[in-house]
Amino acid sequence: MNVTARCCAARHARWSLVLLTVSAAASRVLHAASSAAFAAPVQQAVPTPAGGLLRVIVALLVVLAAVLAAAWLARRMRAFSGGGGSSSLELLAQLSLGARERVVLIRVGDRQLLIGVAPGQVCTLHVLEAPSAPTPAASAPPLVEVAANSAAARPSFKSLLLKSLGK
């Protein structure tokens, strides 16, 4: 045999010895693992009812905080969008005439409008050109006067009821 053939045979023998050693070590490890006493598998912790209740409460608090934060943010955004300029429409006073009827005094620019509001109907009762100070004592006589004028034109349910009761 020449030198090259001997080197190849020596290399082959060394690789065979390394593979035999590795397989023997693996066999010993597998034999040791199989002959070991049976060990119970590690069990996951069983959630207790108190732990589940705590998780539900925390989730509820997070959702409630998110709702409150959204409401606060919406209120802040509405204040920013509406507070930029002076509003030309302003509610000055309102007076309830019945269970679902009322009279509302509003200011639109330099005029004041007296509006009657009923279910399914809104109508202008009177237009005041000169602005007046809206005080409860001062606003009562014009409301009564306008109500009397509109009652003459078309009687309201309240005026008909009071008339039928004799008041």
Say which amino acid occupies 127.
Answer: V
Per-residue model confidence as pLDDT tens digits over 44-75: 776 677 778 899 999 999 999 999 999 999 98
Same domain, 77 and 118: no
Do 107 and 149 fall within a single domain? yes
| Range(s) of the domain holding residue 151 | 89-165
Claim to verify: residue 75 and residue 132 sit in the same structural domain: no
> 101 and 80, same structural domain?
no
Instruction: Check whether residue 70 and residue 94 sit in a common domain.
Output: no
Q: Does 132 lie in the same domain as 80?
A: no
Specify which of 63-67, 104-108, 137-141, 163-167 reaches the highest per-range mean pLDDT: 63-67
Q: What is the pLDDT of residues 83-97, one digit of tens each?
A: 555 567 888 889 998
Three state DSSP letters for the chain = CCHHHHHHHHHHHHHHHHHHHHHHHHHHHHHHHHHCCCCCCCCCCCCCHHHHHHHHHHHHHHHHHHHHHHHHHHHHHHHHHHCCCCCCEEEEEEEECCCCCEEEEEEECCEEEEEEEECCEEEEEEEECCCCCCCHHHHHHHHHHHHHHHHHHCCCHHHHHHHHHCC
Residue whose token pair is 């008041």: 167
- Closest Cα partner for 97 from 147, 53, 133, 57? 147
Q: Tell which of 62, 85, 108 closes a domain.
A: 85
Query: Do residues 104 and 81 both lie within one domain?
Result: no
81 and 97 in a single domain? The answer is no
Report which of 98, 95, 119, 120 is spatially closest to residue 106, judged by C-alpha positions.
95
Q: pLDDT tier at 160 (50, 70, 90 boundaries)?
A: confident
Distance separating alpha carbons of residues 163 and 153, to the nearest angstrom: 15
- My answer on whether 104 and 75 are in the same domain is no
